[in-house]
Chain A
Amino acid sequence: MNEVTLLGHLLVLGALLFGLGLAGFLARRNMIVMFLCLELMLQGISLSLVAWGRFHDHWDGQLLVIFMIAVAACEAAIALVLVLMLCRYCGSLDIAAWQSMRDEGVPPYIDREVPDEPDDGTRHVWPVLTPAGVLPPPDPQRDLNRPHV
Chain B
Amino acid sequence: MMDHRLVDLFVTQMQVAWEWLTGDWGPYLLATVMGGCGLGMLLPGGFQGRLARGVGLALIVASAALLLGTGPWGTPGVETVLVVVLSAVALLASVFMITTHRPIYSAVWFALTLLSVGGLFFVAGAQFLGLATVAVYAGAIVVIFLFVLMLVQSETPALCDRVSWGILPRYAAAGCGFCMAALIVLATHDVRNLRDPHAAPVATVRTEHVAVLGGQLFSRHLIEVEIAGTLLLLALVGAVVMSRLHPLRGQFADTLHQALDPDFTAGRPLG
Contact = CB atoms under 8 A, between A and B. Distances in A.
Interface of A: 1-24, 26-30, 32-33, 35-37, 39-40, 43, 46-47, 50-51, 53-54, 59, 62-63, 65-67, 69-78, 80-85, 87-89, 91-96, 100-101, 109, 111-112, 114-115, 117-118, 124, 147-149
B212 A59 contact: yes
A124 B156 CA distance: 9
B126 A36 contact: no
A22 B173 CA distance: 8
30 contacts: A1-B202, A3-B199, A4-B194, A6-B79, A12-B188, A13-B90, A15-B184, A17-B91, A17-B117, A19-B177, A19-B184, A21-B98, A23-B39, A23-B43, A23-B174, A24-B98, A24-B177, A29-B164, A32-B103, A36-B106, A40-B110, A43-B114, A59-B212, A72-B137, A73-B141, A77-B236, A89-B247, A93-B153, A114-B162, A117-B157
A147 B270 CA distance: 10
Given A32-B149, A75-B235, 4 more contacts: A4-B199, A23-B173, A36-B106, A43-B117
For chain B, give the interface size range.
Answer: 35 or more
B113 A94 contact: no
Contacts of A95: 160
A74 B235 CA distance: 5
B252 to A, nearest CB: 12
A117 B90 contact: no
Contacts, number: 315
A149 B155 CA distance: 14
Interface in B6-33: none
A23 B118 CA distance: 23
Interface of B: 35, 39, 43-45, 48, 64, 67-68, 70-77, 79-80, 83, 87, 90-91, 94-95, 97-98, 101, 103, 106-107, 110, 113-114, 117, 120-121, 123-126, 128-129, 132-133, 136-137, 140-141, 144-145, 148-149, 151-153, 155, 157-166, 169-170, 172-174, 176-182, 184-185, 188, 191-194, 196, 199-202, 212-213, 216-217, 221, 224, 228, 231-232, 234-236, 238-239, 242-243, 245, 247-248, 259-261, 270-271
